Amino acid sequence: MASGIKDKVAIIGMGCTRFGERWDKGPEDLMAEAFAECLADAKIDASAIEAAWVGTCFDEINMGKSALGAAMGLRLGYIPWTRVENFCASGTESFRGAVYGVASGAYDVCLAMGVEKLKDTGYGGLPGGNAMGVLASSIGPNGTAPGNFALLATAYAAKYGIPMEKIKDAIAHVSAKSHANGALNPKAHLRKAVSEEQIKAAPMIAYPLGLFDCCGVSDGSACAIVTTPEIARSLKGSDYVSVRALQISVSSGEEAMYTKWDGAGFETTSRASWKAYAEAGIKNPREEISMMEVHDCFSITEFVTMEDLQISAPGKAYDDVMGGFYDLKGGGVPCQVDGGLKCYGHPIGASGLRMLYAMYEQLLGRAPEERAVKNPRFGLTHNLGGRPSSNVSSIAIVSRPDA
């Protein structure tokens, strides 16, 4: 009977570039930058890597449809390479391939790579085109990302009877928190603290989301090298991170096509988190999860995700957010400890691995004092791709090996 991947896979090395407007770098340069850090961290030779996966979303402006560009860019050829894409969960999808490759016993050492170049595409946001395919009918001809995600706020407010002004206060706190954390991170794209008052006074993009409630797009790359716990111990003693759970959930279409869904959260996130907690052996996520990186493409997305992950009780995210429960200092479960998508940036294929990089730093005690989480035990990452009405969610839970 299937037993999941708990404690079957170890992360022995990670690397991440600075995210931002990397005009002078192509995707192969960014991958090489992340890979060099990762390989040095893992303390292995590149020849030890037996298989690799690369996540990138917009193939037309990155490396093409295959993984050949990654193999050539890293000079890591003659091994199996696979390119994967799953919207904004593409980085975690790459990680899933590498983790499953080791957990299955097919390989001893695998590489998960993620990369995206978005700043020099000619678009202010994500590139245009009908990338959603069959989902386009659920978005509508005039649908925009901010517009579709803004609907979460009105649906949530209606469901729980919370005045929109209070929702705006809460999402301003969410954004201010990420800006404060990003300001401490030298690899983050946006490194300026912004007050809640500034956030609420900013130009409106899609009510109630203002300019500072929307993440930007960036260039960047991140990667991980994974192996078995036995090999990890032989190489690094206890200085590695254990993969406790990895789950993914994809919409069936019923949210977009039927009236059962109330529009105030993500069914895929709830279902993936249930399975991830069971796989990791976590009974009470609010008490056991030490820190999180969640898919804050918009501040309202982070807000409702707190309930979808069962960290906040239904209808109580406002109380937790405004009470500082997710703040870096003094919070019960600090969220976006490195600035999140909001401020670290969102090069789509790299984001899931960047989130894991933040958890990895914290669990190994490498985060500087000003943004370190005290005695972290379990770290959770959450990716979301698509639209509120049709999407994919992925959850990863990692820990120190002795947790």
pLDDT by residue (tens digit) across 217-227? 899 999 999 99
The answer on pLDDT for 123 being more than 70 is: no
What's the distance, CA 216 to chain centroid?
14
How far is residue 4's CA from residue 6's CA, in Å, rounded to a whole number? 6
pLDDT of residue 114: 97
pLDDT of residue 381: 98
* Domain coordinates in residue numbering, the chain: 9-118+219-236, 144-213+241-399
Q: What percent of the chain lies above the pLDDT cut of 90? A: 87
How far is residue 56's CA from residue 116's CA, in Å, rounded to a whole number? 6
How far is residue 400's CA from residue 48's CA, in Å, rounded to a whole number? 24
pLDDT by residue (tens digit) across 279-299? 999 999 999 999 999 999 999
Of 140-149, 281-290, 302-311, 314-323, the poorest mean pLDDT is in 140-149
pLDDT of residue 2: 81
Handedness of CA 315, 321, 326, 330 (dihedral sign): negative
pLDDT by residue (tens digit) across 217-253? 899 999 999 999 999 999 999 999 999 999 999 999 8
More confident residue, 280 or 135: 280
Third-level CATH fold of 9-118+219-236 = Peroxisomal Thiolase; Chain A, domain 1 (3.40.47)
- Sole residue written with tokens 């192996």: 227
How far is residue 341's CA from residue 351's CA, in Å, rounded to a whole number? 7
pLDDT of residue 64: 81
The answer on pLDDT for 124 being more than 70 is: no
State the average pLDDT over residues 76-98: 96
Task: Domain 144-213+241-399: give its CATH superfamily.
Answer: Thiolase/Chalcone synthase (3.40.47.10)
Omega into 208 within 30° of 0, i.e. cis? Answer: yes
The whole-chain average pLDDT of the chain stands at 93
Please state the three-class secondary structure of the chain as a single string: CCCCCCCCEEEEEEEECCCECCCCCCHHHHHHHHHHHHHHHHCCCHHHCCEEEEECCCHHHCCCCCCHHHHHHCCCCCCCEEEECECECHHHHHHHHHHHHHHCCCCCEEEEEEEECCCCCCCCCCCCCCCCHHHHHHHCCCCCHHHHHHHHHHHHHHHHCCCHHHHHHHHHHHHHHHHHHHCCCCCCCCCCCCCHHHHHHCCEEECCEEHHHECCCCEEEEEEEEECHHHHHHHHCCCCEEEEEEEEEECCCHHHHCCCCCCCCCHHHHHHHHHHHHHHCCCCHHHHEEEEECCCCEHHHHHHHHHHCCCCCCCCHHHHHHCCCCCCCCCCCCECCCCHHHHHCCCHHHHHHHHHHHHHHHHCCCCCHHHCCCCCCEEEEEEEEEECCEEEEEEEEEECCCC
More confident residue, 140 or 65: 65
Confidence of residue 131 (pLDDT cuts 50, 70, 90): very low
State the average pLDDT over residues 369-387: 96
Listed as own residue / partner, the contacts of 191-196 with beta carbons closer than 8 Å and 24 or more positions apart are 191/343, 196/169, 196/172
Confidence of residue 337 (pLDDT cuts 50, 70, 90): very high
The domains spanning 9-118+219-236 and 144-213+241-399 adopt the same CATH topology = yes
Of 23-32, 75-84, 258-267, 346-355, the poorest mean pLDDT is in 258-267
Q: What percent of the chain lies above the pLDDT cut of 70? A: 94
